[in-house]
């Protein structure tokens, strides 16, 4: 039973309200075919759209089987369109790229929120009943007008609705086919359904049980043929809602179907996103790799290493305090004293250097003016983390006994001994000039090769001696204990301790000494900041590429929605909720980005590995290694979802806001 009371409706045009229906009231009984006729513009289609729930009544009331449709919203309204109403359009409104079977079965999909029974056989049954079972695989363009209308009727009947609304179902058909379609509608009414049709055909109107004539939005005439009322079929039970997981999985076929019809455009759009994700993954990983390698090379020198030097302040003025005098560090008073004041100091070692660079020789080979003698204690190699190629470091025994032993750099061993074993060989050192000196030492160790850009301080040319022995063979100036290297405990605030040491010595000696404290940790910290900025810059460039790709998806989605306005209207008329339409198009964007992102991540990983491989072939110091940066991959996936959601948000919102009638009337 359809009950309409005091129904009025108007449309806005050029800021003016144009009335379409004016205070219309009538009843439509089940088991009858009711015709609504009238001239164009009289409000027939608007009335049908209002009954079908495609438009909301502005004034008045519409009750279908006792349910006031103005109280239906969201899922309940979609369920009403799907389960209670079956709508047959004059233009058929079939999806042109889908088969007849897909067009019929589409009515069984919506609303997606509802738990649906297995209705796979329903399409075949309806097709057989309507005589189109041999045309199910054909596209609408391959069907005649009558066959297309039968497909539309089958779609309307899919969910066994109680009310059939047909908007001029015979208007574009020849008289014979029109009569066949009417007979189908008559059988539906005879089965107890309520059938309402709009028609201009007097021959069709005369065969209807009731005729309602509209003119200028008002009822002009109603011819009621008295037939006994028949029982209407029992109302469908309220659908059981799907769980969230099933609900979201139900979008997968719809998204894949959209890709199938637009795969070329989708692939081209995905290419932009793939390039952006590949750039993001590779640049973040490559920046992290460079940062790790550069910083680790400096850290190998000891990030907790502090260099301390102190010299007599020759610029001291006469008015300065002369209570103390500083010439060099005293190991007991100064260095051991520092350890007591600053417990962060674990080890220390003198670093006495003879910058005159003596000539050295062994086994008849000589190196002139390049060797750099250095006096240290047994803790030096532990502090500096220098690696040994052969032999052993200097020990406490050597320090205590002023032993004439030495550890030589890689280049010295190579030039003087070639492939021979230098251990236990004697190395001679000679300093020229008026105060010429000569000395010798027994080689006990060889340092590994160290890369450096320094012109003066080259570890490969070190001759490292016990500082006690160094002091006995060097001139007074070079034998002064004026330079020390300190090792701080792990986790110490290197910069804070360095400043504390300097302030302590300045307070102790006043203006008598000039002290300086330096640390690789401070440089490494600054280097990390720089490399972090560099990595951020690389990531920003990659993000720009990704944003460009995302804009491509937005444009594609907007174009797609522009082409599918009528399709969106059809889906909503069949029971798709605004939420489902929104999620469908948003999901399409996310899935598109996800597929493109996976390809992009794989391509990005291959790209930066190719760069590392080519670099290893051109630069000997770089070794190829497999680098899988999980944070970069995780960030790329987050970027994929973010771009997918942001790219699809505006198009999905546009699709969500579309009104059924507005979408159906679009060209």
Between 293 and 557, the higher pLDDT residue: 557
**What is the Cα–Cα distance from 21 to 12, expressed in whole angstroms?**
13
The 3-state DSSP class for residue 311 equals strand
Copy the structure tokens of residue 294.
Answer: 């550069």
- How far does CA 470 lie from the centroid of its chain? 61
Alpha-helix residue ranges (DSSP H) falling in 463-577? 467-473, 476-479, 494-509, 520-563, 565-573
Residue position matching structure tokens 């009371």: 5
In which element (H, E) is residue 396 found?
A: helix 396-400
What are the angstrom distances between the C-alpha of 663 and each of 478, 496, 553, 567? 93, 70, 22, 8
pTM of the entire predicted model: 0.62
Give the dihedral of Cα atoms 308, 313, 315, 316; nearest 10 deg: 130
Q: What is the pLDDT of residue 117?
A: 57
- Give the model's confidence band at 233: pLDDT under 50 very low, under 70 low, under 90 confident, else very high: very low
467 close to 350: Cβ distance less than 8 angstroms: yes
- pLDDT (tens digit per residue) in 370-396: 999 999 999 999 988 889 999 999 999
Q: What is the pLDDT of residue 462?
A: 94
Residue 239 burial by CB count (10 A; 0-12/13-18/19+): exposed, middle or buried?
buried
- pLDDT (tens digit per residue) in 300-334: 555 678 889 998 887 766 555 555 778 889 888 89
Q: Does the structure show a pLDDT above 60 at 230?
A: no
Q: What is the pLDDT of residue 612?
A: 80
Domain ranges of the chain: 2-242, 252-298+526-664, 305-525
Collect all residues with Cβ–Cβ distance below 8 Å to 280 and sequence separation of at least 6.
539, 542, 543, 545, 546, 600, 604, 632, 635, 636, 639
Q: Which CATH architecture has domain 2-242?
A: 3-Layer(aba) Sandwich (3.40)
Alpha-helix residue ranges (DSSP H) falling in 29-130? 44-51, 74-79, 100-105, 120-129
- Give the model's confidence band at 16: pLDDT under 50 very low, under 70 low, under 90 confident, else very high: confident
Give the dihedral of Cα atoms 248, 253, 257, 263; nearest 10 deg: 70
Between 162 and 635, the higher pLDDT residue: 162
200 close to 169: Cβ distance less than 8 angstroms: no
- pLDDT (tens digit per residue) in 397-414: 999 999 999 999 999 999
Collect all residues with Cβ–Cβ distance below 8 Å to 191 and sequence separation of at least 6.
233
In which element (H, E) is residue 275 found?
A: helix 263-299
Query: 127 — phi, psi (to 5°)?
Result: -60, -40
Residue 47 burial by CB count (10 A; 0-12/13-18/19+): exposed, middle or buried?
buried
The 3-state DSSP class for residue 369 equals coil
DSSP letters, 397-434, are HHHHTT--EEEE-HHHHHHHHTTS--TT-EEEEEE-ST
Q: Does the structure show a pLDDT above 80 at 293?
A: no
Q: What is the pLDDT of residue 539?
A: 74
User: How many angstroms separate the first and last alpha carbons of the chain?
Assistant: 34
Residue position matching structure tokens 């050295």: 360
**What is the Cα–Cα distance from 119 to 7, expressed in whole angstroms?**
37
With pLDDT > 70 as the criterion, what percentage of the chain qualifies?
A: 87
Mean pLDDT of 517-537: 71
**Dmax over Cα atoms in the chain, in whole Å?**
140
Mean pLDDT of 174-203: 90
Q: Half-sphere exposure (CA, 13 Å, Cβ side) for 591?
A: 19
Q: What is the pLDDT of residue 243?
A: 55
- Give the model's confidence band at 236: pLDDT under 50 very low, under 70 low, under 90 confident, else very high: very low
Q: What is the pLDDT of residue 235?
A: 41
Q: Among candidates 309, 306, 313, which has minimal Cα distance to 521?
A: 306
Mean pLDDT of 275-296: 76
């Amino acid at each position: 039973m359809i009950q309409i009371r005091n129904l009025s409706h108007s449309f806005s045009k050029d800021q003016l309200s144009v009335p379409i229906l004016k205070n219309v009231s009538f009843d439509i009984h089940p088991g009858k075919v009711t015709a609504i006729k009238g001239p164009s513009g009289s409000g027939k289609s608007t009335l049908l759209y209002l009954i079908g729930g495609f438009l909301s009544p502005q004034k008045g009331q519409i009750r279908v089987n006792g349910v006031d449709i103005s109280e239906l919203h969201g899922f309940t309204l979609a369920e009403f369109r799907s389960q209670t109403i079956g709508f047959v359009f004059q233009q058929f409104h079939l999806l042109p790229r889908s088969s007849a079977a897909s067009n019929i079965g589409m009515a069984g999909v919506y609303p997606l929120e509802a738990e649906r029974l297995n209705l796979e056989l329903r399409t075949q049954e309806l097709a057989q009943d309507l005589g189109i079972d041999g045309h199910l695989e054909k596209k609408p363009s391959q069907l005649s007008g009558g066959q297309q209308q039968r497909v539309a009727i089958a779609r309307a009947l899919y969910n066994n609705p109680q009310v059939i609304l047909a908007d001029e179902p015979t208007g574009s058909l020849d008289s014979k086919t029109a009569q066949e379609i009417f007979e189908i509608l008559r059988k539906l009414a005879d089965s107890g359904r309520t059938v309402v049709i709009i028609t201009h055909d007097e021959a069709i109107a005369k065969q209807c049980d009731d005729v309602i004539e509209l003119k200028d939005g008002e009822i002009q005439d109603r011819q009621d043929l008295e037939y006994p009322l028949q029982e209407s079929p029992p109302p469908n039970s309220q659908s059981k809602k799907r769980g969230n997981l099933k609900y979201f999985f139900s979008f997968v076929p719809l998204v894949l179907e959209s890709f199938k019809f637009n795969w070329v455009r989708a692939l081209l759009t995905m290419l932009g996103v793939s390039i952006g994700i590949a750039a993001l993954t590779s640049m973040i990983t490559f920046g992290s790799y460079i940062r790790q390698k550069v910083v680790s090379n400096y850290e190998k020198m000891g990030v907790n290493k502090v260099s301390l030097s102190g010299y007599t302040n020759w610029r001291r003025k006469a008015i300065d305090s002369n209570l103390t005098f500083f010439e060099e560090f005293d190991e007991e008073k100064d260095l051991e004293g520092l350890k007591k004041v600053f417990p962060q100091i674990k080890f220390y070692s003198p670093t006495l250097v003879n910058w005159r660079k003596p000539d050295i020789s062994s086994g008849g080979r000589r190196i002139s003016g390049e060797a750099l003698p250095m006096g240290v204690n047994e803790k030096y190699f532990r502090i500096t983390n220098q690696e040994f190629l052969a032999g052993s470091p200097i020990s406490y025994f050597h320090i205590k006994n002023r032993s004439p032993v030495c550890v030589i750099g890689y280049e010295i061993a190579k030039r003087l001994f070639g492939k021979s074993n230098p251990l236990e060989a004697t190395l001679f050192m000679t300093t020229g000039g008026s105060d010429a000196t000569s000395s010798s030492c027994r080689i006990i160790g060889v340092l590994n090769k160290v890369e450096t850009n320094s012109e003066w301080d080259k570890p490969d040319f070190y001759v490292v001696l016990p500082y006690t022995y160094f002091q006995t063979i060097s001139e007074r100036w070079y034998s002064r204990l004026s330079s020390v290297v300190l090792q701080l405990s792990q986790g110490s605030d290197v910069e804070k301790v360095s400043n504390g040491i300097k302030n302590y010595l300045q307070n102790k000696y006043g203006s008598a000494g000039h002290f300086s404290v330096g640390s690789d940790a401070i440089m490494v910290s600054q280097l990390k900041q720089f490399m972090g900025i560099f990595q951020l810059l690389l990531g920003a460039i990659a993000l720009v590429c990704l944003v460009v790709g995302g804009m491509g998806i937005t444009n594609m989605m907007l174009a797609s929605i522009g082409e599918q306005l009528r399709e969106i209207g059809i889906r909503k008329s069949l029971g798709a909720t605004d939420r489902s339409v929104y999620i469908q198009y948003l999901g399409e964007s996310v899935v598109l980005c996800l597929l493109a992102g996976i390809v992009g991540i794989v391509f990005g990983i291959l790209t930066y590995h190719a760069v590392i491989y080519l670099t290893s072939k051109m630069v000997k110091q770089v070794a190829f290694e497999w680098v899988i940066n999980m944070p970069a991959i995780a960030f790329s996936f987050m970027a994929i979802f973010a771009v997918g959601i942001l790219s699809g948000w505006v198009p999905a919102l546009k699709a969500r806001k579309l009104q059924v009638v507005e979408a159906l009337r679009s060209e």
